[in-house]
Amino acid sequence: MCGGVKYTDKQNKTWTVYFPSPKAALPVLKKDGEIEWVTWGKRKEENAPAFPNGGWARLDSIKEGKWQRYQPKSVLLPIHSFMEKDHDKISHWFDLQPNQLLQGLLTVQNDVPRVYIVTTNTPEECSYIHERWPRVIQREA
């Protein structure tokens, strides 16, 4: 379900972020090409009732309108690699190609933004790892 991500900034510093961290944030690509770090979802122990628990949004639930009450906005996450844990809790890292990004879902409640990683069905060749997979988007040329 994408429990961690890696992002390398313009200064070539690599940031590794894991969802369980209370300070977890994801890089969101803005229209002007700049990056804005936004808090990644909501952990159960957080006192943020306006947001759903978790760090992921199923694509099918978005299409069914289940996220509509959060006034979501689709965003792009310029992640370089993501991590999935298998059923034995072993971490597997997957690199994205330079022209690929992850799809995120941004919601703002009371002027506070949160971003969730959009998930879809796992590619068959990786189905032994997890049943959900981040949605990979091809960057337009």
Per-residue pLDDT tens for 79-103? 999 999 888 888 999 999 999 999 9
What is the average pLDDT score of the chain? 92
The answer for residues whose C-beta is within 8 angstroms of residue 44's C-beta and 6 or more apart is: 53
pLDDT of amino acid 59: 96
Tell me the whole-structure pTM to 2 decimals. Answer: 0.93
Question: pLDDT digit string (tens) for 48-77?
Answer: 778 999 999 999 999 999 999 999 999 999
Q: How far is CA 94 from the centre of its chain?
A: 14
Is residue 33 predicted with pLDDT exceeding 70?
yes
Structure tokens at 141: 């040329």
CATH architecture of 4-138: Alpha-Beta Complex (3.90)
Domain ranges of the chain: 4-138
Mean pLDDT of all residues in 103-131: 89
Tell me what pLDDT residue 66 has. 95
In DSSP notation, 8-44 reads E-TTS-EEEEETTSTT-EEEEE-TTS-EEEEEBSB-T
- Report the alpha-carbon distance of residue 63 to residue 45 in Å, rounded: 28
User: What gap in Å lies between CA 13 and CA 33, rounded to an integer?
Assistant: 18
Please give the C-alpha separations between residue 117 and each of 11, 13, 75, 91, 141, in angstroms, as whole numbers.
25, 22, 9, 18, 23
pLDDT band for position 1 (50/70/90)?
Answer: low
At 10-29, the pLDDT tens digits run 999 999 999 999 999 999 99
